[in-house]
Structure formats: structure tokens, C-alpha cells
Amino acid sequence: MIAPGMLLLFLSNSPSFLSLFLCAIGTVSIMIRPRLNLFSALRTPPVRRSFATEARLTSDHVRVVEVGPRDGLQNEKKSIPLETKLQLIEKLAKTGVTTIEAGSFVPAKWVPQMASTAEICEHLLKTPPQSPSTIAYNYLVPNVRGLENLIKVMDATGVPAGTSSSQSATTTEISLFAAATEAFSKANTNCTIDESLERIRPIVALAKTKDIRVRGYVSVALGCPYEGPDVPPAKVADITATLLEMGADEVSVADTTGMGTAPRTMELLQALKAAGIANNDLALHFHDTYGQALVNTIVGLEHGVRIFDSSVGGLGGCPYSKGATGNVSTEDLVHTLHSLGMHTGISLDEMSRIGAWISGELGRANESRAGKATMARLEGKC
């Protein structure tokens, strides 16, 4: 008998085949109740502590965090016009997604593609895009100065930090980055892990005084371009717990290099749970470098995680991790989640149209298989 994990690894290259497989073994009906049962033999001991900050998510709802406008575009070589970035965000806002990474308040010399973030933020505050639901616009801030620059934009537009725009149900949030390995931390932020956490502490403190929600990231959690694939899960759990203890409202654990596999993802999730980290406070961020992002997503679903990051059209990479290709595409993620009976509130058709459009604007291939198949259907080609 073939182990479920091996079947998942084989079937991961096709969301449709994966859906049929899950339906065949009767797990879809299980999933929309408490959880999947694909890895029932792997269970974890009771948690010792909890940092939960939100009401428990319903078991069949998944919040998808769209990272395309920030993580997806930051590594593009060709300069992208401000108007194109704004169009992308405005189009995404109409799909039903509720969290969008809109930019980074980082020095232009670090990430030139993010040089227009202040203008994007100002535009979104003054003229919020139409959307079917409340939208949280998230901005990466690398240091206190970055957050201060964000607050200046908010104050200048007459929208106090931590409040919703008067024209639409939108909020402004920040994200912060730490790394799970010393080598990556040194390459990315020129400091040790402990030093980076100490730099983050005053950022969180300032955000809390302004009632701004904070999202933490732990990069290279399942593999490092400098130290290899064997990142200690306990180290990732310790950093995640530290960020939550500081006051982060949520931490996204990122497979920045795409080295993650189903067994190692489960091992990491078990370590996080053993450290007392609640699923409510946890998001997963997968790259599809080795074609394992959807497999790892299902492992996360089985574990009870209900927040996942993705990028329209599979845009993205990491400027500090050579060879790490794009994030899992939002279209592929949404297609898979819907096939499993989960609810996202996102229109796959609209997201697929956006993926095709932005890929054309950037002059690059559309990396989403579900998106391309959906467009073929919409255009009557299949």
C-alpha cells in the first residue's frame, strides 16, 4: 500500500487530480468539518501555552493573503509604472480577497521596485478601491524609520494610524521580517537573528501605540540558500513565539526557497504546536520552486492552519535567495481549496483574469496552471 504522503507528492502537480483523489478516498467531507485526516498517525501533544489573539477561525473558511503587489513584484527587473501597480491592487480588491500586501517602506536602493510605496499608500487611503469586503492593506517595514514613514503618510492624508478609511472599509497593517538561519539573516539584514529581533521589538511597540496590526514573517523556515534544507524546526518555533510575545498579531512561516516537503512541513508544524503556538496566530507561505507548494498546503490544512499566502499569477521570488522561484499562485491555491470544499470568498474567474493581465503587462509567462485553464474555459477554448 502506498502511503498517503507519497500519493500526495505524486498528485501535487495537478490540482484537478489531487481533488479527484481526495474525493475518491472520502476526505473532502471530513475536511469541511473539523479537519482532513490524511496524516492521522501524526499527532502532537497538548500545547503548553497559547498566544491566540483572534476568535477561532471556522473550519471550512480559509483566509488567503495576496502578496503579489509586494512580494510578487519586488524582484522584477523591469521598472513597473506606478499606474500598473495601482491597477493591480484595484483589480485584486474586487475579487473578494481580504488582505493585500501593497508595498514596502524600504529604501529604494535596497528594493528599487518598491520606491513608489508611499504614493501607493496615499492613493489607497485617499481613494480606496471598491471591494465586496473589508480590505487590509499591508506594508513591509524593515525598521522604525519605515514605520514612521508609513505613519507620516497616514497623518498627511487625514487617516489616523490604526483607523479605517472613511470612504471604505479598509485598514492599514504592517509586516516585519526575521530569518530562521544566521546566514540568511546576515545576508538579508546584516545582523544576527537575535539582533534582528531586538530591532523588531521597538517597531512592534510603536505600532501598538498607533493601534496598527502587526504581521511577522519567519523566512527560510524550510530551507536556506546558504545553510541548506535542514533548518531546525525548534528554532523556527522559538522565533515565531518571540514575535508573538512581542505583540505580533500573526506570524507567517515562510518556505522562502521552496525546499519544503510534506514530511518536513508536518515536522515544523508539530514543533510550532509543541511550542504553544495556536493555528489562529499562524499563516503559511509556500514557494513552488520544486512543485510542492500545494502538497505542503494540504499538510497545513490537515494540521488546522487556515491562513495561507499566495501571489496572483505565481509572481515573485526573493532578491536574497537566488533560484527561489515564485510563490504558489493564488489561482492554483484557490482552485485547490475550493475543490476540497473550503471557502475563500475569492472569485477564481476574476483572479485568473488578473493573473493573465499582469503576466502580459510584465512580459512574463503566467505561472498558474489553474489560472491558464480557467482562462481557456472563459475564452471558450476548452
pLDDT at residue 160, as a whole number? 63
Give tens-digit pLDDT for 274-316.
999 999 999 999 999 999 999 999 999 999 999 999 999 999 8
Quickly tell me which residue has 511577522 as its cell. 216
* Choice between 58 and 202, residue whose per-residue pLDDT is larger: 202
Nearest one of 88, 146, 119 to 315, comparing CA atoms: 88
For the cut 70, the answer to whether the pLDDT of residue 129 exceeds it is yes
Does 318 qualify as catalytic in the annotation? yes
The mean pLDDT value for 119-138 works out to: 95
CA-CA distance, 92 to 101, in Å (whole number)?
Answer: 11
Q: What b/e sequence results for 157-185 when a residue is b if at least 16 CB atoms lie within 10 Å of its CB, and e otherwise?
A: eebebbebbeebebbbbbbbbbbbbbebb
For the cut 50, the answer to whether the pLDDT of residue 39 exceeds it is no
Helical H runs in the chain?
Answer: 4-11, 15-24, 28-31, 82-93, 117-126, 144-156, 182-189, 193-209, 233-246, 262-274, 293-303, 330-339, 348-362, 369-378
Show the cell assigned to 262. Answer: 510534506
pTM of the model: 0.85
- How many whole angstroms from its chain centre is CA 83? 24
In contact, 233 and 267? CB cutoff 8 Å: yes
Longest alpha-carbon distance in the chain? 64
Give tens-digit pLDDT for 23-36.
333 333 334 334 44
For the cut 90, the answer to whether the pLDDT of residue 118 exceeds it is yes
CA-CA distance, 92 to 353, in Å (whole number)?
Answer: 10
pLDDT band at 98 (very low <50, low <70, confident <90, very high): very high
Specify the DSSP element, H or E, that contains 171.
strand 170-179
CA-CA distance, 142 to 287, in Å (whole number)?
Answer: 22
Show the cell assigned to 261. Answer: 516537503
Give tens-digit pLDDT for 184-237.
999 999 999 999 999 999 999 999 999 999 999 999 999 999 999 999 999 999
For the cut 90, the answer to whether the pLDDT of residue 173 exceeds it is yes
The single residue of 121, 191, 224, 318 carrying the catalytic annotation is 318
In contact, 103 and 69? CB cutoff 8 Å: yes
- How many whole angstroms from its chain centre is CA 178? 15
Show the cell assigned to 88. Answer: 493591480
Structural domains present in the chain = 27-378 (3.20.20.70)
* Choice between 101 and 31, residue whose per-residue pLDDT is larger: 101
> What percent of the chain has pLDDT above 90?
74
CA-CA distance, 98 to 346, in Å (whole number)?
Answer: 9
